[in-house]
């Protein structure tokens, strides 16, 4: 059965799932973020079949999350290095780790995110980069962005707070501020 492609959908979650939604891909990125670069390292860590690993690595390269680099001429051998896009996936993995520890580890956490200098356990949360405020459901909501089509606008347009024009201007101002921030 052919799976549906999310690549052309406007939803950024759907587009992201198109690139990393297959569980092997997420685990490969996890290992890459821990410093693994070589095919045999990924295979040993994951216990994945070579043909599946080859397909997943190729898909991650095609999505721009990994770069394939030759490290040996004879025989030809390649390593897979994270791109900036791949390194940005770290925040997603940290959120998944915290969520998994909170909801799916009845025996306790098997992996803890800790401060490298002190060893103190961290409790990751999502904050607004501009204000530094904790993002909570009551304080923030989803609004259609400048590139949103009619379907996305209809789905997100049911918000009761503020006029549509005010929300659009607020989102545009925020996007402009984020783009100009270092």
Q: What is the pLDDT along the chain (182 residues), one digit of tens a residue?
A: 556 666 666 677 778 777 777 889 999 999 999 999 999 999 999 999 999 999 999 999 999 999 999 999 999 999 999 999 999 999 999 999 999 999 998 898 889 999 999 999 999 999 999 999 999 888 888 899 999 989 889 988 854 444 445 555 555 565 565 556 55
Six-digit token string for 115? 């401060």
Among residues 103, 115, 93, which one has the least CA distance to residue 31? 93
User: For position 163, what pLDDT does the model report?
Assistant: 47
DSSP lists the bridge partners of residue 134 as 127
User: For position 161, what pLDDT does the model report?
Assistant: 47
> What contacts 24+ positions apart, CB below 8 Å, involve 12-16?
none
Q: Which CATH architecture has domain 12-87?
A: Orthogonal Bundle (1.10)
Six-digit token string for 90? 């770290």
pTM over 0.75: yes
- The rounded distance, in Å, linking the Cα atoms of 92 and 99 is 10
Among residues 72, 12, 7, which one has the least CA distance to residue 37? 72
Q: Where are the domains of the chain?
A: 12-87, 91-124, 125-182
User: For position 168, what pLDDT does the model report?
Assistant: 52
DSSP lists the bridge partners of residue 68 as 80
Q: Which residues contact 174 (CB under 8 A, 6 or more apart)?
A: 130
Count of C-beta atoms within a 10 Å radius of residue 87? 14
Q: Which residue has the tokens 């025996």?
A: 107
User: For position 5, what pLDDT does the model report?
Assistant: 66
Six-digit token string for 80? 């897979």
Cβ(60)–Cβ(25) under 8 Å? yes
- The rounded distance, in Å, linking the Cα atoms of 125 and 121 is 13
Cβ(142)–Cβ(10) under 8 Å? no
């Amino acid at each position: 059965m052919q799976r549906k492609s999310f690549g052309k959908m406007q939803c950024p979650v759907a587009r992201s799932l198109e690139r990393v939604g297959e569980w092997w891909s997420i685990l490969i990125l996890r290992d890459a973020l821990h410093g693994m670069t070589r095919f045999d390292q990924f295979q040993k860590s994951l216990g994945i079949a070579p043909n599946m690993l080859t397909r997943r690595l190729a898909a991650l390269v095609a999505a721009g999350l990994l770069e394939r680099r030759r490290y040996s001429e004879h025989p030809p051998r390649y390593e897979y290095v994270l791109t900036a896009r791949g390194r940005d996936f770290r925040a997603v993995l940290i959120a998944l780790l915290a969520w998994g520890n909170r909801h799916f580890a009845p025996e306790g956490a098997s992996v803890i995110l800790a401060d490298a200098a002190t060893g103190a356990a961290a409790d990751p949360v999502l904050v607004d980069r501009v204000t530094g405020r904790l993002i909570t459901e009551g304080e923030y909501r989803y609004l259609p962005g400048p590139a949103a089509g009619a379907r996305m606008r209809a789905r997100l347009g049911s918000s009761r707070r503020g006029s549509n024009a005010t929300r659009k201007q607020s989102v545009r101002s925020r996007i402009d501020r984020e783009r100009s921030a270092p």
